[in-house]
Amino acid sequence: MKLIHSFFSLWGIFLHLLLLGTTTLVYGHPHDVFHHRAKVNDSFGDLDGLEIPVLEKRAQPDLRVMALGASIVFGVGSTDGNGFRKLLRDQLRFSGYKVDMVGTKNGGTMKDNDVEATSGFIVKQIHDASKLSYKYKPNLVVINAGTNDIVGNIDPAGQPQRLKSMLLDLWSNISPDTVIIVSTILPVDKPAAEALRGGVNNGYRDVVSDLYKQGKPIYLADLDGFMSLSDLRKWRAHSGRLSRKLKKENKLKDPLPADTSNDDGGKTCRKSPGDGINAGALTQKGSGYDDGTYEHDSQEMGAVLTITSDWDRDQWFFARIFRSDRDDLLGWVENSAGNVVYAVRRNDGGGKFTKIATDLNVNDNCKPKGVVFIDLNGDGLDDFACIGPDGAVYASINQGNGGGDKPPSFVYKGLWRAADSRFPQAKVRLADIDGDGRADFCGLSDNGDVYVWRNGWIDDMPGYWQALGKRFEGKGMGNLEGTRFEDLNGDGRDDWIWVGDKGEAHTWTNSRSCGVGKEGDGLKVAWRPGYYKGKTSGPTHTGGFASGIRNRIHFARIYGEPQDFGLLGRLDYVYMEHTKGSNGKHTFRMRVWKNKGYGATKPKADGNKYCDMTGNGRDDYVWVLSKGEMDLYPNGGKNFITGQESYWGPMQKAFFKPDRDLDRRDLHLTDWDGDGKCDIVWVDPNNQNRVSVWRNNYTPGGGFNWQYLANPAPELYCPEKRGIGFQDIPVQFADVSGSGRSDYLCIEKNGRIWGWTQDANGAWTYIDQFFSSKKHDRANMRFADVDGDGRDDAIWVEKFSGDAFVYYNMGRRDIAGSRYWWEIQERGGPFPAYGGSYAGSCQYFPDLNGDGRADLHSIQGTFPNTAVTAYNVCDGNRSGDDSTDIKKPDLIMPPETPSNGGGGEESNTPPNPGENCGLPQKWMQLPIKVGESDGGEDFCFAKWNQGVFPREIEAWATEGSLHWIRMVYNDGTQVTAGKKPPADNKHRYGTVKWDPWHDSFDKFSLYAGGFKNGVGRMVLELSDSCDSGKCNLDAGAYWPGGPPPEVDVPRGEKRDGMLLGFRLRAGDIIDSLTPLFSKSKPVKVTLRDAKFTPTWQELNARPFDGTKVTWSKEKGHEDGGEIGVTIGSEYSWEAAVPEVVTVKNGKKIEVSAKYVGKQIRRDSQATDAYSNCFDIDEDDEDDRKDADAADFVITESGTYCPDGERVGNTGMSDSELLNACPI
């Protein structure tokens, strides 16, 4: 007979969630996993129904459980941060135990989220950390430790003994009766580490075996081989024996009394990275307004200037040499002495130019080809840069002392950026990519990709360079000469513009991103294409002039009209039209098109502010329009929310509306008068940041009333100016003194802070230095009360990762030149406090739960403006169930957080690898990676979570390696990776096309053995029904000694799974490929907002085979799904395919569907109801027990509805099945 069961034991959960929680990709080795075909599909999903006997529900000791380890144990990489711990706890609770998780760290959304694990720790560090939790006296310790040791190649021979030392210390310091479960180390995707893993795991086995023989209460969770494609029944039998052994030996004893006398149950404790408590769901869901994507428009102004010259040598340049809002015209001239000077025509506004008598001398004889005028130091005026033939850059700095007929002086500074052999002059561009006002260094690859180095610090010359990595992906325009970077829309960030030979220009705008990164690959940019007004494709500027005029096209602030208040001027389009007279003279007509474009300047996330506006102790959410009007989202008073529940109360539109336009960067929410409610303070940027206040007189019954105070503190001022960057502001308000009223902090560009404190009576005291310069960018400094002592601490946010570090405010004390004592670590530097998951500019520190401590509030994307929150709590050991309903746990992972929308490089069409190419879903085949080269970059060629699937692959290879692939999706988009070789008889290439909903691969093989052990060959074969006869592809290397072993990529038990995409690494070659397949052909499609053609009633009346369903977006909600399931004498299972999300209006897509009905819901699908089934041996006592505990038992072949009722024999028709299992 066969058993259908959906239950887990402790061991099943522990091992399953270890896999889900790991941050290391888990693959079987290609040569180990393809030699056997499993009887059960091999994937993460198969564990859903894996039956492992559960501990009996009988009188058992209370469990005090310590999960000990590093990132896997902590839950890094799991969507809820719980990793395996919550399901471990839930299973133990369901099994009848009282459970308290213990540890000094906290992580995840679960209520009882104590843990002793820190990401990145090696065994020695885990050993040291375990000592912090001896006091809790756990009677069960679950350990996964050692991955970081083998990754770092840290004395692998001694690693088992380091583990043993930790185990012995646990028993010595907690209790000799404490049961310890040790797991072997999971597979890793780093070849050097993987080579060490087997030996270390053997050592772990020996340690556990020896200790067990000595009578120690220790057990091994052996994960080696668990992820291979061999039969899972071997593990079921092993883990079942292990569970029964623990139960039989009765090793679990009551825990000793815990020593928690020194635990602080109050609120004044320090914050540690990762110990935040997740609020449960999105705490922001897209509030605010933006100005959309860029739409270009222009007004032709004619020829505003005509110049006659003796030369035509690309001598014209536009630069802001007098003032920041207008570009002047400069003409390159080599004078009689052989020195280069620039004739200056000053821009007087309104399209009027005046030639001044004195030429500009930049003290550099640079040839025109290398000349760049750009702001190098962030003062708003353009400096001079000369790019040499080798790509080295030299600088002269504008002193800003020009006026009238006198141009400013330029001081030569020398080498600004040394040459890089990859980027000679023709491949170098200077541009402000990160929006801090300082030009960065950009190097272009042959394919148009742009690599960026950030110009760091505040001096005229770079204080340091920070590698940002590839920050723009080439658009295949074909000629690098057209690549420009210009701030077209005036938001302070240089946009990518490609200028064609006839003057046409294509544009991608540059916006701030919340995408997390690191130095070398960070400060992500949210790129979006712009178009001409009313168009959805093509150039922003149509050009259309004669060929060969690319170098005569300029972008400059001739008129420089801002799109809106608070923005910089837009760049106008300039064509220096040239004619040559019969006298040999050259005439240039400056033809100008004034920029009237709109958009891509105001991401929603720029309007976020947080403060307690109602005085209830919890910070509210205030969204501020760019001109100062404010909307209020009052704090709803909820600590935890789920699903679609709102964190906030009803929005109050325009609860504050100033009588004039005020830049939101100059508006501050702070408690000015100490009444517990936040007031609104404006600092005047044109009057040394002197203050005006709108005092908040809110009452619960009367609403908001504002009392305007024009100049309430005349002594306050700050001569510093606002920077270009979003958060580069000169003044912040914080309660540094602890008086309950806000203090005034003037922040210099180097981070030094001075200002005034305000006492409880409103008197101000001058402080010559609050905080000395720590060489942190001013834009990355925040103030909030982290430890709950009533004084705001200084927080430095690392811009790439969003990690936040704290200088703890210890109060008034003269120390090191400051009047306040800011405690740092003994080894120096601030204390690590918050672990970032988003870029630093998207991290906020409000007190949302009202406990007086700064929480971490993270914006996920600058355009959607969604957010998640982690509470900073201080309440000692946490405990308690997440629900009063104790039931058996299931393994449905929480929904993924929103992607794109300002969270990454949005122009780069492959999605973030973590979204579509992360851990496999339960309906997916376990992926296999082929190719061991670690070169190139990580790509994700998959969009299945949008209902989009591959339909075409083109691949090119040389004699030695697979070099280039192109994939086309069924929505018409395409992606490429690698470097395409030339078409000749030495290169093998091909294209294969198919219908993803109907065709499947007869062959899908990959070979390693390419260059640096990258991918060597790809061989694909389809049925003869595929499109245009493109049914075969063989692109690969030639191996004189014969090819390496063929890797037959698994595609489900019936080998008919749908190709979902690839995860890959690629540079000049395809370094590695990981094909992603579903475990079967699609058997279910969920349609949302759909209209069926023909109707769903007509579809249900048709035979299923070959039926095509075509839909387009329309109001309403309809789902399609398969009803019932047939179980034959040989068991097989077809898993679901992902939901197909809403498609654009008018877009046509074809899929295969079975039974379309308005009342069908996802949970009616049988494959969601039953996880697995397997044979039962009636002579086996354990199998009989399993059968007794099963949901139900099947004793004969047949067709079964989701409730387990047998409704017929196998082979029922569609109509019979629909009638037998009604909707």
Indicate the pLDDT class of residue 873, thresholds 50, 70 and 90.
confident
Which CATH number is correct for 925-1077, 3.10.25.10, 2.30.36.70, 3.40.50.1950, 2.100.10.30?
A: 2.100.10.30
User: How many Å apart are CA 349 and CA 959, to the nearest integer?
Assistant: 62
282-286, 415-419, 974-978, 1183-1187: lowest mean pLDDT where? 1183-1187
pLDDT one-digit tens code per residue, 320-355: 999 999 999 999 999 888 899 999 999 999 999 999
More confident: 906 or 1096: 1096
Report yes or no: 459 and 544 within 8 Å, Cβ to Cβ: no
How far apart are the C-alpha atoms of 447 and 858, rounded to whole Å? 35
Q: Give residue 986's pLDDT band: very low, low, confident or very high (50, 70, 90).
A: low
Please tell me the total number of residues recorded for the chain in this structure. 1223
What are 41's two structure tokens?
Answer: 């599909």
pLDDT confidence of residue 163: 98
CA gap 512, 494 in Å, rounded: 11
386-419, pLDDT tens digit by residue? 999 999 999 999 999 999 999 999 999 999 999 9
What's the pLDDT score for residue 598? Answer: 98
Burial class (CB in 10 A: 0-12, 13-18, 19+), 309: middle
CA distance 868 to 171: 40
Q: Mean pLDDT in the chain? A: 81
CATH 3.40.50.300 is the classification of domain 2-263: no
| Banded model confidence at residue 1222, pLDDT cuts 50, 70, 90 | low
pLDDT in tens, 292-308: 999 999 999 999 999 99
How many beta carbons lie within 10 A of that of residue 994, not counting itself? Answer: 22
The answer to whether the beta carbons of residues 426 and 480 sit under 8 Å apart is yes
The reported pLDDT for the residue numbered 472 is 97
Percent of the chain having pLDDT more than 70? 76
DSSP-derived secondary structure for 292-323? -S-EE-EEEEEEEEEEEES--SS-EEEE-SS-
Residue 549's CB is within 10 A of a number of other CB atoms, namely 18
Q: Are strands 525-532 and 295-296 parallel, antiparallel or unpaired?
A: parallel
pLDDT at 1009 over 70: yes
User: Which tokens belong to 1028?
Assistant: 């245009």
How far apart CA 415 and CA 461 sit, in angstroms, is 9
- Going by their DSSP bridges, the two strands 410-417 and 428-431 should be labelled as unpaired
Q: Which residue has the higher pLDDT, 403 or 934?
A: 403
pLDDT of 900: 40
What is each CA distance from 603 to 137, 525, 607, 658, 797, in whole angstroms?
51, 12, 8, 21, 21
- Pick from 478, 486, 480, 453: nearest CA to 555: 486
Q: Residue 364 half-sphere exposure, CB side, CA atoms within 13 Å?
A: 27
pLDDT at 1114 over 70: no
Return the C-alpha torsion angle 410, 413, 414, 417, nearest 10: -110
Output the pLDDT for position 445.
97
944 — pLDDT class (breaks 50, 70, 90) = confident
Stretch 216-243: mean pLDDT: 53
pLDDT in tens, 841-865: 999 999 999 999 999 999 999 999 9
Report how far Cα 38 is from the mean position of its chain's Cα atoms.
36
pLDDT in tens, 47-60: 233 232 333 334 57
Asked whether the predicted pLDDT for residue 1104 surpasses 70, the reply is no
**365 or 1091: which leads in pLDDT:** 365
Given this model, what pLDDT does residue 1092 score? 44
Q: What is the DSSP letter of 924?
A: B
- Within 8 A by CB and 6+ apart from 1163, the residues are 1169
Residue 225 has pLDDT above 60, yes or no: no
In this predicted structure, the answer to whether residue 1215 has a pLDDT above a threshold of 80 is no
Whether pLDDT at 951 is above 80: yes
pTM of the model: 0.62
CA count, 13 A, side-chain hemisphere, 768: 6
Bridge-based pairing of strands 690-696 and 428-431 is unpaired
Q: What tokens appear for 1189 in the block?
A: 């505990």
Name the nearest CA neighbour of 369 among 344, 394, 387: 387
Domain boundaries, the chain: 2-263, 278-290+602-871, 295-595, 925-1077, 1090-1220
Position 998 scores a pLDDT of: 74
Q: Does 497 score more than 60 pLDDT? A: yes
Does 1010 score more than 50 pLDDT? yes
Give pLDDT tens digits for 761-800.
Answer: 999 999 999 999 999 999 999 999 999 999 999 999 999 9
Please write the tens of the pLDDT for every residue from 1029-1057: 568 888 887 666 667 778 888 888 788 88
Residues 1014, 1066: Cα–Cα separation, whole Å? 9
Please determine, for residue 285, whether its predicted confidence score (pLDDT) is greater than 50. Answer: yes
Q: Is the pLDDT of residue 970 over 90?
A: no
Contacts of 176 (CB under 8 A, 6+ apart): 216
Does residue 592 surpass a pLDDT of 50? yes
pLDDT digits (tens, 9 = 90+) for 150-175: 999 999 999 999 999 999 999 999 99
Render pLDDT for 679-729 as a digit per residue (tens, 0 to 9): 999 999 999 999 999 999 999 999 999 999 999 999 999 999 999 988 999
Identify whether the C-beta of residue 580 lies closer than 8 Å to the C-beta of residue 312. Answer: yes
Looking from the CA of 343 toward its CB, the CA atoms found within 13 Å total 13
Task: Specify whether the CB–CB gap between 383 and 392 falls below 8 A.
Answer: no
Distance (Å, rounded) from C-alpha 605 to C-alpha 873? 26
CA dist 634 and 704 (Å) reads 12
278-290+602-871 and 295-595 share one fold: yes
* C-alpha to C-alpha distance for 970 and 996, rounded to whole angstroms: 8
Q: Nearest-CA neighbor of 49 among 1189, 1173, 1131, 1183?
A: 1173
Cα dihedral angle (781, 787, 790, 792), rounded to 10 degrees?
Answer: -10
Q: What is the pLDDT of residues 1075-1102, one digit of tens each?
A: 999 887 765 444 333 344 445 455 455 5
Expressed in angstroms, the distance from the first to the final Cα of the chain is 29
Cα R_g (the chain), whole angstroms: 33
What single-letter amino acid sits at 105?
Answer: K
Task: State residue 575's pLDDT score.
Answer: 99
| Residue 1204: predicted pLDDT | 63
CATH code assigned to 295-595: 2.115.10
Helix axes 159-173, 191-213, angle to 10 degrees: 40
Of 179-183, 601-605, 966-970, 1213-1217, which gets the smallest average pLDDT?
A: 1213-1217
**Cβ partners under 8 Å of residue 367, min gap 6:** none
Query: pLDDT over 90 for what percent of the chain?
Result: 58
Tell me, which fold does domain 278-290+602-871 have in CATH? Tachylectin-2; Chain A (2.115.10)
Question: Six-digit token pair at 642?
Answer: 């789920």
Rounded to whole angstroms, how far apart are CA atoms 1102 and 1094?
11
